[in-house]
Structure 1
Amino acid sequence: MTIVTTPNSPAEIQPLLLDVSTTTLTVTPEQFVSLCLKNPDLRLELNPNRELIVMVPTLPISGKRNGDLSGQVWYWNRQTELGEAFDSSTGYDFTAVEGGMPSPDSSWIEKSRLEGVSLEKFFSIAPDFVIELRSTSDDLKPTQQKMLVYQRVGVRMGLLINPQNKQVEIYRPGQAVEILAAPQSIDCNEVMPGFILDMSRIW
Protein backbone atom coordinates (compact mmCIF):
# COMPACT_ATOMS: atom_id res chain seq x y z
CA MET A 1 0.00 0.00 0.00
CA THR A 2 1.31 3.46 -0.89
CA ILE A 3 0.66 6.31 1.49
CA VAL A 4 0.72 9.87 0.15
CA THR A 5 1.17 12.61 2.70
CA THR A 6 0.27 16.24 2.18
CA PRO A 7 1.52 19.34 4.00
CA ASN A 8 -0.36 20.07 7.21
CA SER A 9 -0.13 23.84 6.85
CA PRO A 10 0.59 26.44 4.15
CA ALA A 11 3.97 27.08 5.78
CA GLU A 12 5.05 23.57 4.81
CA ILE A 13 4.21 24.05 1.13
CA GLN A 14 7.34 24.60 -0.95
CA PRO A 15 7.31 25.82 -4.56
CA LEU A 16 7.80 23.14 -7.18
CA LEU A 17 10.58 24.20 -9.54
CA LEU A 18 11.02 22.73 -12.99
CA ASP A 19 14.58 22.84 -14.29
CA VAL A 20 14.44 23.59 -18.02
CA SER A 21 18.02 24.82 -18.36
CA THR A 22 18.95 21.86 -20.58
CA THR A 23 15.60 21.64 -22.36
CA THR A 24 14.38 23.43 -25.48
CA LEU A 25 10.77 24.51 -25.07
CA THR A 26 8.82 25.17 -28.26
CA VAL A 27 5.60 27.17 -27.98
CA THR A 28 3.16 28.79 -30.36
CA PRO A 29 2.88 32.60 -30.54
CA GLU A 30 -0.49 32.35 -28.76
CA GLN A 31 1.04 30.29 -25.95
CA PHE A 32 3.90 32.77 -25.73
CA VAL A 33 1.54 35.72 -25.28
CA SER A 34 -0.33 33.78 -22.60
CA LEU A 35 2.93 33.01 -20.78
CA CYS A 36 3.90 36.69 -20.85
CA LEU A 37 0.53 37.77 -19.45
CA LYS A 38 0.62 35.17 -16.69
CA ASN A 39 4.28 35.81 -15.80
CA PRO A 40 4.74 39.59 -15.96
CA ASP A 41 7.88 39.45 -13.81
CA LEU A 42 9.73 37.28 -16.32
CA ARG A 43 11.58 38.53 -19.39
CA LEU A 44 10.69 36.17 -22.20
CA GLU A 45 11.42 36.07 -25.90
CA LEU A 46 10.46 33.74 -28.73
CA ASN A 47 13.11 33.12 -31.36
CA PRO A 48 12.31 32.51 -35.06
CA ASN A 49 12.23 28.74 -34.41
CA ARG A 50 9.51 29.34 -31.78
CA GLU A 51 11.86 28.33 -29.00
CA LEU A 52 11.18 30.00 -25.66
CA ILE A 53 14.02 32.10 -24.28
CA VAL A 54 14.01 33.02 -20.60
CA MET A 55 16.39 35.89 -19.96
CA VAL A 56 18.08 35.97 -16.59
CA PRO A 57 18.59 39.26 -14.70
CA THR A 58 21.77 41.01 -15.79
CA LEU A 59 24.71 41.84 -13.57
CA PRO A 60 24.87 45.45 -12.35
CA ILE A 61 27.56 46.38 -14.89
CA SER A 62 25.23 45.45 -17.77
CA GLY A 63 22.28 47.18 -16.10
CA LYS A 64 24.34 50.34 -15.74
CA ARG A 65 25.42 50.28 -19.37
CA ASN A 66 21.94 49.58 -20.67
CA GLY A 67 20.45 52.31 -18.50
CA ASP A 68 22.94 54.79 -19.93
CA LEU A 69 22.23 53.81 -23.54
CA SER A 70 18.44 53.74 -23.15
CA GLY A 71 18.54 57.01 -21.23
CA GLN A 72 20.30 58.73 -24.11
CA VAL A 73 17.67 57.53 -26.59
CA TRP A 74 14.86 58.60 -24.26
CA TYR A 75 16.37 62.04 -23.61
CA TRP A 76 16.99 62.76 -27.30
CA ASN A 77 13.41 61.75 -28.12
CA ARG A 78 12.04 63.86 -25.26
CA GLN A 79 13.85 66.89 -26.68
CA THR A 80 12.89 66.32 -30.34
CA GLU A 81 9.47 64.62 -29.99
CA LEU A 82 10.10 62.89 -33.32
CA GLY A 83 8.76 59.54 -32.20
CA GLU A 84 8.54 57.21 -29.24
CA ALA A 85 11.32 55.46 -27.32
CA PHE A 86 10.73 52.05 -25.74
CA ASP A 87 12.60 50.13 -23.05
CA SER A 88 13.77 46.52 -22.85
CA SER A 89 10.37 45.22 -21.71
CA THR A 90 8.70 46.13 -25.02
CA GLY A 91 7.71 43.16 -27.16
CA TYR A 92 7.63 42.92 -30.95
CA ASP A 93 5.73 40.30 -32.93
CA PHE A 94 7.50 39.28 -36.13
CA THR A 95 5.98 35.79 -36.30
CA ALA A 96 4.13 36.65 -39.52
CA VAL A 97 7.54 36.80 -41.23
CA GLU A 98 9.10 34.01 -39.15
CA GLY A 99 11.06 36.49 -37.05
CA GLY A 100 9.98 35.45 -33.58
CA MET A 101 8.92 37.78 -30.77
CA PRO A 102 11.97 39.68 -29.49
CA SER A 103 12.39 42.47 -26.94
CA PRO A 104 15.31 44.73 -27.87
CA ASP A 105 17.21 46.44 -25.07
CA SER A 106 16.19 49.80 -26.51
CA SER A 107 14.09 50.73 -29.53
CA TRP A 108 12.66 53.81 -31.22
CA ILE A 109 9.86 54.32 -33.75
CA GLU A 110 9.28 57.46 -35.82
CA LYS A 111 6.02 59.24 -34.93
CA SER A 112 4.15 58.93 -38.23
CA ARG A 113 4.59 55.14 -38.26
CA LEU A 114 2.71 54.86 -34.97
CA GLU A 115 -0.49 56.43 -36.25
CA GLY A 116 -3.31 53.93 -35.76
CA VAL A 117 -0.98 51.40 -34.10
CA SER A 118 -2.19 49.99 -30.79
CA LEU A 119 0.09 50.30 -27.79
CA GLU A 120 -1.96 47.63 -25.99
CA LYS A 121 -0.39 44.65 -27.77
CA PHE A 122 3.01 43.60 -29.09
CA PHE A 123 4.17 45.69 -32.04
CA SER A 124 3.93 43.98 -35.42
CA ILE A 125 5.84 46.83 -37.08
CA ALA A 126 9.63 46.93 -37.11
CA PRO A 127 11.22 49.71 -35.07
CA ASP A 128 13.37 52.22 -36.91
CA PHE A 129 16.23 51.85 -34.45
CA VAL A 130 17.29 49.20 -31.96
CA ILE A 131 20.11 48.61 -29.51
CA GLU A 132 21.13 45.20 -28.23
CA LEU A 133 23.75 45.24 -25.49
CA ARG A 134 25.64 41.99 -25.08
CA SER A 135 25.67 41.24 -21.37
CA THR A 136 28.24 39.10 -19.61
CA SER A 137 25.88 36.10 -19.78
CA ASP A 138 25.07 36.42 -23.50
CA ASP A 139 26.66 34.29 -26.20
CA LEU A 140 27.61 36.41 -29.20
CA LYS A 141 26.22 34.22 -32.00
CA PRO A 142 22.54 34.16 -30.86
CA THR A 143 22.66 37.93 -30.41
CA GLN A 144 24.06 38.34 -33.91
CA GLN A 145 21.29 36.11 -35.23
CA LYS A 146 18.75 38.34 -33.52
CA MET A 147 20.34 41.37 -35.20
CA LEU A 148 20.01 39.66 -38.59
CA VAL A 149 16.29 39.24 -37.90
CA TYR A 150 16.02 42.97 -37.17
CA GLN A 151 17.86 43.67 -40.42
CA ARG A 152 15.57 41.35 -42.37
CA VAL A 153 12.30 42.79 -41.03
CA GLY A 154 13.36 46.34 -41.90
CA VAL A 155 14.99 47.96 -38.86
CA ARG A 156 16.78 50.92 -40.41
CA MET A 157 19.68 50.92 -37.96
CA GLY A 158 20.52 48.26 -35.39
CA LEU A 159 23.43 48.45 -32.98
CA LEU A 160 24.94 45.37 -31.36
CA ILE A 161 27.16 46.69 -28.59
CA ASN A 162 29.73 44.16 -27.47
CA PRO A 163 31.71 45.37 -24.42
CA GLN A 164 33.56 42.06 -24.11
CA ASN A 165 35.25 42.57 -27.50
CA LYS A 166 35.03 46.38 -27.39
CA GLN A 167 33.18 46.42 -30.69
CA VAL A 168 29.95 47.76 -32.15
CA GLU A 169 28.27 46.01 -35.08
CA ILE A 170 25.91 48.16 -37.14
CA TYR A 171 23.14 46.45 -39.10
CA ARG A 172 21.27 48.18 -41.93
CA PRO A 173 18.83 46.68 -44.48
CA GLY A 174 20.55 45.37 -47.58
CA GLN A 175 24.04 46.29 -46.39
CA ALA A 176 27.02 44.43 -45.00
CA VAL A 177 27.51 44.65 -41.26
CA GLU A 178 29.76 47.55 -40.28
CA ILE A 179 32.10 46.87 -37.35
CA LEU A 180 33.55 49.68 -35.24
CA ALA A 181 36.39 49.18 -32.76
CA ALA A 182 35.65 50.81 -29.38
CA PRO A 183 34.06 53.98 -30.81
CA GLN A 184 33.66 56.91 -28.46
CA SER A 185 30.42 57.87 -30.21
CA ILE A 186 28.09 56.63 -32.95
CA ASP A 187 26.39 59.01 -35.37
CA CYS A 188 22.77 57.89 -35.71
CA ASN A 189 21.69 60.91 -37.74
CA GLU A 190 20.68 58.77 -40.72
CA VAL A 191 17.69 57.52 -38.71
CA MET A 192 17.39 59.89 -35.75
CA PRO A 193 18.24 63.46 -36.77
CA GLY A 194 20.91 65.02 -34.58
CA PHE A 195 21.33 61.97 -32.36
CA ILE A 196 24.88 60.93 -31.49
CA LEU A 197 25.15 58.02 -29.10
CA ASP A 198 27.88 58.65 -26.52
CA MET A 199 29.84 55.45 -25.89
CA SER A 200 32.44 56.87 -23.51
CA ARG A 201 30.77 55.29 -20.43
CA ILE A 202 30.44 51.86 -22.05
CA TRP A 203 34.09 50.94 -22.41
Structure 2
Amino acid sequence: MTTVTTPVENYPLVLHLHPIINLTDEQFFDFCQINRDLRIERTATGELLIMPPTGSETGGRNFRLNGQLYNWTEQNGTGVGFDSSTGFTLPNSAKVSPDAAWVKRERWNALTPEQQQTFAPICPDFVVELRSVSDNLTPLKTKMQEYIENGALLGWLIDCKKRQVYIYRPRVAVECLDNPATVSADPVLLGFVLDLSKIW
Protein backbone atom coordinates (compact mmCIF):
# COMPACT_ATOMS: atom_id res chain seq x y z
CA MET A 1 0.00 0.00 0.00
CA THR A 2 1.34 3.43 -0.98
CA THR A 3 0.79 6.41 1.27
CA VAL A 4 0.71 9.88 -0.26
CA THR A 5 1.74 12.64 2.07
CA THR A 6 1.10 16.35 1.73
CA PRO A 7 3.94 18.71 2.58
CA VAL A 8 3.42 20.36 5.94
CA GLU A 9 3.52 24.15 6.17
CA ASN A 10 6.29 24.34 8.75
CA TYR A 11 8.75 26.79 7.24
CA PRO A 12 10.51 28.97 8.03
CA LEU A 13 12.32 27.49 11.01
CA VAL A 14 12.74 30.29 13.55
CA LEU A 15 15.91 30.46 15.68
CA HIS A 16 15.78 32.75 18.72
CA LEU A 17 19.30 33.93 19.54
CA HIS A 18 18.76 37.14 21.53
CA PRO A 19 19.90 37.89 24.23
CA ILE A 20 22.46 35.06 24.31
CA ILE A 21 23.95 35.76 20.89
CA ASN A 22 23.93 39.07 19.01
CA LEU A 23 25.31 38.61 15.51
CA THR A 24 26.84 41.70 13.95
CA ASP A 25 25.94 42.47 10.33
CA GLU A 26 29.33 41.10 9.27
CA GLN A 27 28.86 37.89 11.28
CA PHE A 28 25.39 37.37 9.85
CA PHE A 29 26.69 37.86 6.32
CA ASP A 30 29.48 35.33 6.96
CA PHE A 31 26.99 32.91 8.54
CA CYS A 32 24.90 33.05 5.35
CA GLN A 33 27.98 32.52 3.17
CA ILE A 34 28.96 29.28 4.93
CA ASN A 35 25.35 28.01 4.76
CA ARG A 36 24.68 28.69 1.09
CA ASP A 37 22.30 25.74 0.74
CA LEU A 38 19.83 27.52 2.99
CA ARG A 39 17.89 30.75 2.58
CA ILE A 40 18.46 32.69 5.77
CA GLU A 41 16.82 35.93 6.82
CA ARG A 42 16.94 37.92 10.03
CA THR A 43 13.96 39.73 11.52
CA ALA A 44 14.08 43.27 12.88
CA THR A 45 14.12 41.76 16.39
CA GLY A 46 17.05 39.43 15.68
CA GLU A 47 15.44 36.02 15.06
CA LEU A 48 16.92 33.94 12.26
CA LEU A 49 14.51 32.49 9.71
CA ILE A 50 15.89 29.33 8.10
CA MET A 51 14.37 28.06 4.87
CA PRO A 52 15.49 25.08 2.77
CA PRO A 53 16.05 25.40 -0.98
CA THR A 54 12.81 25.45 -2.93
CA GLY A 55 11.49 22.39 -4.69
CA SER A 56 12.08 22.04 -8.41
CA GLU A 57 8.56 23.16 -9.37
CA THR A 58 8.79 26.37 -7.34
CA GLY A 59 12.33 26.96 -8.59
CA GLY A 60 11.10 26.71 -12.17
CA ARG A 61 8.32 29.19 -11.50
CA ASN A 62 10.76 31.57 -9.88
CA PHE A 63 13.10 31.23 -12.87
CA ARG A 64 10.30 32.14 -15.29
CA LEU A 65 9.21 35.04 -13.06
CA ASN A 66 12.73 36.46 -12.89
CA GLY A 67 13.17 35.93 -16.62
CA GLN A 68 10.23 38.18 -17.38
CA LEU A 69 11.46 40.82 -14.93
CA TYR A 70 14.97 40.60 -16.40
CA ASN A 71 13.74 41.14 -19.95
CA TRP A 72 11.74 44.21 -18.98
CA THR A 73 14.59 45.61 -16.84
CA GLU A 74 17.09 45.29 -19.69
CA GLN A 75 14.75 47.04 -22.15
CA ASN A 76 13.63 49.76 -19.72
CA GLY A 77 17.00 50.63 -18.19
CA THR A 78 15.69 52.67 -15.25
CA GLY A 79 16.52 50.17 -12.54
CA VAL A 80 18.39 47.08 -11.41
CA GLY A 81 16.80 43.64 -10.92
CA PHE A 82 17.66 40.95 -8.38
CA ASP A 83 16.83 37.26 -7.92
CA SER A 84 16.01 35.23 -4.81
CA SER A 85 19.64 34.79 -3.76
CA THR A 86 19.97 38.52 -2.99
CA GLY A 87 19.79 39.87 0.55
CA PHE A 88 18.75 43.39 1.51
CA THR A 89 18.90 45.22 4.84
CA LEU A 90 15.67 47.12 5.42
CA PRO A 91 15.56 50.41 7.36
CA ASN A 92 14.14 48.51 10.38
CA SER A 93 17.35 46.35 10.30
CA ALA A 94 15.61 43.17 9.03
CA LYS A 95 17.66 41.18 6.51
CA VAL A 96 15.39 39.82 3.79
CA SER A 97 15.65 37.99 0.48
CA PRO A 98 12.60 38.42 -1.77
CA ASP A 99 12.05 36.01 -4.66
CA ALA A 100 12.42 38.92 -7.09
CA ALA A 101 13.22 42.58 -6.54
CA TRP A 102 13.89 45.79 -8.44
CA VAL A 103 15.54 49.04 -7.35
CA LYS A 104 15.56 52.37 -9.18
CA ARG A 105 18.99 52.87 -10.72
CA GLU A 106 19.67 56.21 -9.03
CA ARG A 107 18.96 54.72 -5.59
CA TRP A 108 21.19 51.71 -6.29
CA ASN A 109 24.00 53.87 -7.64
CA ALA A 110 23.87 56.04 -4.49
CA LEU A 111 25.16 53.07 -2.47
CA THR A 112 28.88 52.54 -2.03
CA PRO A 113 30.54 49.55 -3.73
CA GLU A 114 31.03 48.02 -0.27
CA GLN A 115 27.29 48.35 0.48
CA GLN A 116 26.39 46.77 -2.86
CA GLN A 117 28.61 43.76 -2.17
CA THR A 118 26.90 42.71 1.08
CA PHE A 119 23.22 42.85 2.07
CA ALA A 120 22.63 46.30 0.63
CA PRO A 121 21.06 48.76 3.12
CA ILE A 122 18.08 49.55 0.94
CA CYS A 123 14.47 48.49 0.58
CA PRO A 124 13.68 47.54 -3.02
CA ASP A 125 11.11 49.68 -4.81
CA PHE A 126 9.40 46.51 -6.07
CA VAL A 127 9.35 43.05 -4.48
CA VAL A 128 7.78 39.70 -5.30
CA GLU A 129 7.27 36.73 -3.01
CA LEU A 130 6.26 33.43 -4.59
CA ARG A 131 4.48 31.05 -2.24
CA SER A 132 5.97 27.56 -2.37
CA VAL A 133 4.19 24.36 -1.30
CA SER A 134 5.73 24.44 2.17
CA ASP A 135 5.09 28.17 2.82
CA ASN A 136 2.54 29.32 5.35
CA LEU A 137 0.60 32.24 3.85
CA THR A 138 0.31 34.33 7.04
CA PRO A 139 4.05 35.01 7.53
CA LEU A 140 4.34 35.89 3.85
CA LYS A 141 1.57 38.48 4.19
CA THR A 142 3.34 39.92 7.23
CA LYS A 143 6.58 40.07 5.27
CA MET A 144 4.87 41.89 2.39
CA GLN A 145 3.51 44.48 4.78
CA GLU A 146 7.00 44.91 6.22
CA TYR A 147 8.36 45.70 2.76
CA ILE A 148 5.74 48.41 2.28
CA GLU A 149 6.34 49.89 5.74
CA ASN A 150 10.06 50.09 4.95
CA GLY A 151 9.74 51.90 1.64
CA ALA A 152 8.67 49.50 -1.11
CA LEU A 153 6.35 51.13 -3.64
CA LEU A 154 4.82 47.90 -4.92
CA GLY A 155 4.76 44.29 -3.80
CA TRP A 156 3.22 41.13 -5.21
CA LEU A 157 2.55 37.99 -3.22
CA ILE A 158 1.86 35.23 -5.74
CA ASP A 159 -0.01 32.25 -4.29
CA CYS A 160 0.24 29.47 -6.85
CA LYS A 161 -1.70 27.07 -4.62
CA LYS A 162 -4.85 29.21 -4.91
CA ARG A 163 -3.95 31.07 -8.11
CA GLN A 164 -4.20 34.41 -6.37
CA VAL A 165 -2.05 37.54 -6.47
CA TYR A 166 -2.04 39.94 -3.52
CA ILE A 167 -0.99 43.46 -4.48
CA TYR A 168 0.59 45.68 -1.83
CA ARG A 169 1.03 49.46 -2.15
CA PRO A 170 1.67 52.24 0.39
CA ARG A 171 -1.45 53.73 1.97
CA VAL A 172 -3.76 51.50 -0.11
CA ALA A 173 -5.74 48.45 1.00
CA VAL A 174 -4.31 45.12 -0.16
CA GLU A 175 -5.90 43.97 -3.42
CA CYS A 176 -6.39 40.26 -4.18
CA LEU A 177 -6.76 39.07 -7.78
CA ASP A 178 -8.33 35.66 -8.39
CA ASN A 179 -6.71 33.61 -11.15
CA PRO A 180 -5.53 36.59 -13.23
CA ALA A 181 -3.95 36.00 -16.63
CA THR A 182 -1.60 38.94 -16.14
CA VAL A 183 -0.72 41.54 -13.52
CA SER A 184 0.61 45.03 -14.25
CA ALA A 185 3.33 46.81 -12.27
CA ASP A 186 2.33 50.27 -13.56
CA PRO A 187 3.19 52.96 -12.66
CA VAL A 188 6.17 51.82 -10.52
CA LEU A 189 7.62 49.65 -13.30
CA LEU A 190 6.02 51.36 -16.26
CA GLY A 191 5.02 48.85 -18.90
CA PHE A 192 5.97 45.70 -16.98
CA VAL A 193 3.19 43.11 -17.19
CA LEU A 194 3.77 39.65 -15.74
CA ASP A 195 2.31 36.80 -17.81
CA LEU A 196 0.98 34.48 -15.11
CA SER A 197 0.28 31.65 -17.56
CA LYS A 198 4.05 31.07 -17.36
CA ILE A 199 3.88 30.96 -13.55
CA TRP A 200 0.76 28.93 -12.78
Does TM, normalized by the shorter one, top 0.5?
yes
Write out per-residue CA displacement over residues 146-177 of structure 1, whole angstroms, 9 at most, x where no aligned residue.
Answer: 10110100111000000112111011111111
Q: CA deviation at 1:49?
A: 2.8
Higher strand share goes to which structure? 2
Q: Is the 8 Å Cα contact of residues 159 and 169 (structure 1) preserved in structure 2?
A: yes
Distance 2:192 2:123 in 1: 20
Aligned-residue CA RMSD (Å): 1.8
The residue number in structure 2 matching 1:25 is: 16
The residue number in structure 2 matching 1:171 is: 168
Confirm or deny that 1:198 pairs with 2:199.
no
Bigger radius of gyration, 1 or 2?
1
The residue number in structure 2 matching 1:76 is: 72
Q: How does 1:1-203 map to 2 (within 5 A)?
A: 24-26=15-17, 27-30=22-25, 31-94=27-90, 96-98=91-93, 100-117=94-111, 118=113, 119-203=116-200
Higher relative contact order (CA 8 A, sep 6+): 2
Identity in percent: 40
- Provide closer, same or farther for how the CA distance between residues 23 and 82 of structure 1 changes in structure 2, counting only shifts above 3 A: closer
Look up the equivalent residue of 2:97 and give its one-letter code: S
Q: CA deviation at 1:115?
A: 2.1
Q: CA deviation at 1:47?
A: 2.0
Name the stretch that deviates more: 24-33 or 142-151: 24-33
Q: Is the 8 Å Cα contact of residues 14 and 48 (structure 2) preserved in structure 1?
A: no
Distance 2:56 2:33 in 1: 26
Distance 1:29 1:163 in 2: 36
- Provide closer, same or farther for how the CA distance between residues 176 and 23 of structure 1 changes in structure 2, counting only shifts above 3 A: closer
SS in 2 for 1:200: helix
Q: Is the 8 Å Cα contact of residues 16 and 48 (structure 2) preserved in structure 1?
A: yes
Q: CA deviation at 1:144?
A: 0.8
Look up the equivalent residue of 1:112 and give its one-letter code: E
Runs of 4+ displaced beyond 6 Å: none
SS in 1 for 2:88: coil
- Provide closer, same or farther for how the CA distance between residues 121 and 76 of structure 1 changes in structure 2, counting only shifts above 3 A: same
Q: CA deviation at 1:23?
A: 6.6
Q: How many residues align?
A: 181
Distance 2:83 2:182 in 1: 21
- Provide closer, same or farther for how the CA distance between residues 121 and 185 of structure 1 changes in structure 2, counting only shifts above 3 A: same
Look up the equivalent residue of 1:169 and give its one-letter code: Y
SS in 1 for 2:165: strand
The residue number in structure 1 matching 2:5 is: none
Q: TM (normalized to structure 1)?
A: 0.83
Distance 2:24 2:165 in 1: 31
Q: CA deviation at 1:34?
A: 2.7
